[in-house]
Amino acid sequence: MMMICGLHTLLLLGAQLVLSVRALTVPTSQNNFFYHDFLKGNSKKEIHFRGVKLHVDSAQPSVFAVRGGNATMPCRFWHEPELSSPREVRVKWSWLPAAGGDETDVLVSIGSRVRSFGDFRGRVQLRQDFPGDATLMVTKLQLNDTGRYRCEVVDGLEDKSSTVDLELQGVVFPYQHPRGHYHLSFLGAQQACEEQDSTLATFTQLFQSWKEGLNWCNAGWLADGTVQYPITRPRVPCGGHSLAPGVRSYGRRHRHLHRYDVFCFSSSLRGKVYYLQPSHKMNLTEAQQVCQEYGAEIAKVGQLYAAWKFRGLDHCAAGWLADGSVRYPITRPRRNCGPSEPGVRSFGFPPAQHKHGVYCYESDDE
C-alpha cells in the first residue's frame, strides 16, 4: 500500500514538472513573437520577444529624377520598443514597372551580404547611413526605370514594407510612321520609340503633358497597350465641341492587328544637339556624312525634343534627323517660325534628295 502511494506521489510530481516546463516555453500573450532565427539557418535558435513591433516607412511617396542621373529612394525601419542591440534583418527592394508587368527583384541584403539583379546590377546599393537606413540609391537612370519601388524588411516572422514611386522628368511627343498616320502595331510602336532614343510613354506621362498643353488629334499607343490622345482645345475632328478637354481613350487594342501612331517619352541628354549647315544645304546622305565629319552623329527625334525641352534649343531652320524627317525646335515663337506656341515643328518625311540643314548630336562621352 505504501509503495502504491509513493508511486502516485512521483507521478504527480512528474506532471507538475512537465507543466512548469511548458509554461516557460509556450507564449501566453497575443503580443508575443515566437520564431526561429531563419537568417542564420539554425532552427534551434529560438527568439522570444514580448511586445516588440517592426515599423517600415518612406519619407516621401514619389521621387523625381532625369535620365542618366541618380535617384535616392528613402526607406527606414525601426522597432518599438527600441532594441538594446541591433539585429540582422533581410531588406529587399523590388520594382513594378510603370509600363506594367510583373514585380521583379532589384536588390536583396542580409547583413553585409548584398545582391542586385537584372538591369539594376551594378547600379544600385543601400545607403546605410544610420541603423535602420534601408534607402536605395540608383545610378545611371534609364528611361524604363520608372515605376513603383517596394522596400520590404523581414525580421523573423515579421514582414513590413513601404513603396516609393520613381518618375522621370521628360517630354512626351507624338510620332508616326514615315508612310503616314496609323501604320504602327504595338510592337512597331515600341521599336519606333527606341530607334528615336525614347520609350513608349505611360498614361501618367501623357496626362502630365496634356496638363502642360499637349494638344494632338491623332490616337497613339501607350506603354500599357491602350490607345489615347490629348485634347486641350475641343474641335469637330477630335470628338466634337461638346466634349470637355481631356485625354481621349480608345481603351486597349489588339497589339498585333490594330494600327495607330505612338506617344514616345524622352528625358534629358548627356550630350548636345546643334544645327549644322556648313556652306550649302544637303540631302539626307550628305547630312549624315557631315555630322560624322564633325565627330557627331545625326540627331534622333527624341534627342531633338529633349534638347528643346531641357536645353532651350531654339533654331528657326529646318534640318534632317536620323529617321529621315525634317524638323526644327522653337522655344521663342516669332514671325515666320510656325505657330504661336513653342514646340518642335515638323515638315514630315520629304524625299531623301531634298536639300536642308541637319541637326547633329554629340555625346558627352565622346
The string of pLDDT tens digits covering residues 304-342 is 999 999 999 999 999 999 999 999 999 999 999 999 999
**In degrees rounded to 5, what are phi and psi of residue 70?**
-115, 155
Report the SS3 class of residue 273.
strand
Output the pLDDT for position 151.
Answer: 97
Q: Which position has the grid cell 481621349?
A: 248
For the chain, percent of residues with pLDDT exceeding 70 = 86
C-alpha cell at 304: 531633338
pLDDT confidence of residue 45: 39
Mean pLDDT to the nearest integer, 343-360 = 97
Rounded to an integer, the average pLDDT of 62-87 is 91
Task: Give the number of domains in the chain.
Answer: 3
Tell me if the bond preceding 81 is cis, omega within 30° of 0: yes
Give residue-wise pLDDT tens across range 163-220: 999 999 999 999 999 999 999 999 999 999 999 999 999 999 999 999 999 999 999 9
Q: Which of 112, 146, 168 is the last residue of a domain?
A: 168
Give dist(CA 287, CA 281) in Å, integer.
Answer: 8
Contact between 88 and 154 under an 8 Å Cβ cutoff? The reply is: no
pLDDT digit string, tens, across residues 154-173: 998 889 999 999 999 999 99
Q: Which amino acid is at 216?
A: W
Q: DSSP string of 181-234?
A: SS-B-HHHHHHHHHHTT-EEPPHHHHHHHHHTT----S-EE-TTSEEEEEESS-
Boundary-marking domain end, from 168, 194, 215: 168
Residue 21 lies in a domain: no
Contact 76/82 with Cβ under 8 angstroms?
Answer: no
Q: Pick from 141, 168, 195: which residue ends a domain?
A: 168
Residue 226 has pLDDT above 50, yes or no: yes
pLDDT digits (tens, 9 = 90+) for 95-112: 999 988 899 999 999 988
From 313, 320, 257, select the one nearest 291 (Cα to Cα).
Answer: 320
Whole-prediction pTM value? 0.80
Question: Predicted confidence band at 366 (pLDDT cuts at 50, 70, 90)?
Answer: low
Q: Are residues 181 and 230 in the same domain?
A: yes
User: What is the model's pLDDT at position 242?
Assistant: 85
- Report how far residue 219's alpha carbon sits from residue 260's, in angstroms, rounded to the nearest whole number: 6
Find the CATH number of the domain harbouring 337: 3.10.100.10
Say which residue, 40 or 119, is predicted with more confidence: 119
Share of the chain above pLDDT 90, in %: 75
Q: What pairs with residue 230 in β-bridges?
A: 247
Tell me which of 88 and 105 has the higher pLDDT. 105
What CATH number should be reported for the domain holding residue 107?
A: 2.60.40.10
Residue 279: the pLDDT is 85
Q: Are residues 340 and 308 in the same domain?
A: yes
Phi, psi dihedral angles at 252 (to 5 degrees): -80, 135
Domain span including residue 91: 52-168
